[in-house]
Chain A
Amino acid sequence: MALSGRVGILTGLRYRGKQGMLNWILHRITGLGIVFLVGTHVVAAFFLQHIGDNVSARITAIYESRPTQLVVYFCVLFHALNGARVAVMDLFPRLIRYERELTWLQWGIFIPAYGLPAFFLLQAALIGQA
């Protein structure tokens, strides 16, 4: 694709890689997101527990808030399901023929598994339950 490295985002997204390319991009973004979140959580929790400063208390409040939970759950669930699909296809190359079907299966699991908790989180946020 962007071998020259000088391709804009819109041109890049018009590359006809279909599901595979979009999954690859999302896998990368969600993976980096998880590393960032876990790193922040470890550092902030360490300082909160041992020093108890305001900055780490504020960071903790941000990553424990509902919008962050929605993002984090998206990252973890997508990365887990997409990674499982890729790993299974790499370990059993005969399954690469069924990549389309496996991708549909992946989203078939993702949508209810993400949608239900997200619905209850949003409902709790809007109605004001715990």
Chain B
Amino acid sequence: MQRSRPIRSAGSFEYSLWMFTRLSGLALLLFAAVSMAAAFMLGGRTELDLPTFVRWMFFPNPNHVVNSKIPDVSVGWSNAFWQVYSTIMIFLAAGHGLNGVRMVLEDYVSRPLLVTVLRAAILLFWLGAFVVAVYVILAS
């Protein structure tokens, strides 16, 4: 007989993660809308096809739109604003997704040692993914 997940009190770490999931989810919708609107304002309608638009929407990085007809990425498309923007986006998205995987796993895994190992693996994976993403963002 498994027990259902205990309810965490407000102010605990688990509660912060619960709140993080809600807020980062809404923030990601806003981020996607803003980068799509910005791609239109930068003239993307004539320079990007639909798949490239979607790539820019979810990860605004010049390296992500190499197959487009943008004549010069140094004008508008490639600058510090988009580097900071996509770093925040990756931080929120990776945290949201991997914390979600942790929630699903902890619904089916109840052995404390295994839960600790899985949490550590997910934390390492998240840190690794974040470092790789920042490298990609700064290198392009």
Cα–Cα, bound, A38→B3 (Å): 32
B-side contacts of A46, CB under 8 Å: 132
Specify the chain B residue showing the minimal Cβ separation from A88.
B26
Q: Residues 18-35 of chain B: 1 if any A CB is under 8 Å from the residue's CB, otherwise 0?
A: 000011011001000000
Contact with B along A65-93 (1 / 0, CB 8 A): 00000000000000010011011101100
The interface bits of chain A over 17-55 (1 if a CB of B lies within 8 angstroms of the residue's CB, else 0) are 000000000001001101100100010001000000000
Kindly state whether residue B104 has any CB partner on chain A within 8 Å: yes
A84 touches B101 (CB 8 A): no
Q: How far is the CA of A64 from the CA of B104 in the complex (A)?
A: 27
Number of interface residues of A (CB under 8 A): 20
The smallest beta-carbon distance between B19 and chain A, in angstroms, is 9
Contact (A35, B4) CB under 8 Å given A28-B104, A84-B29, A90-B22: no
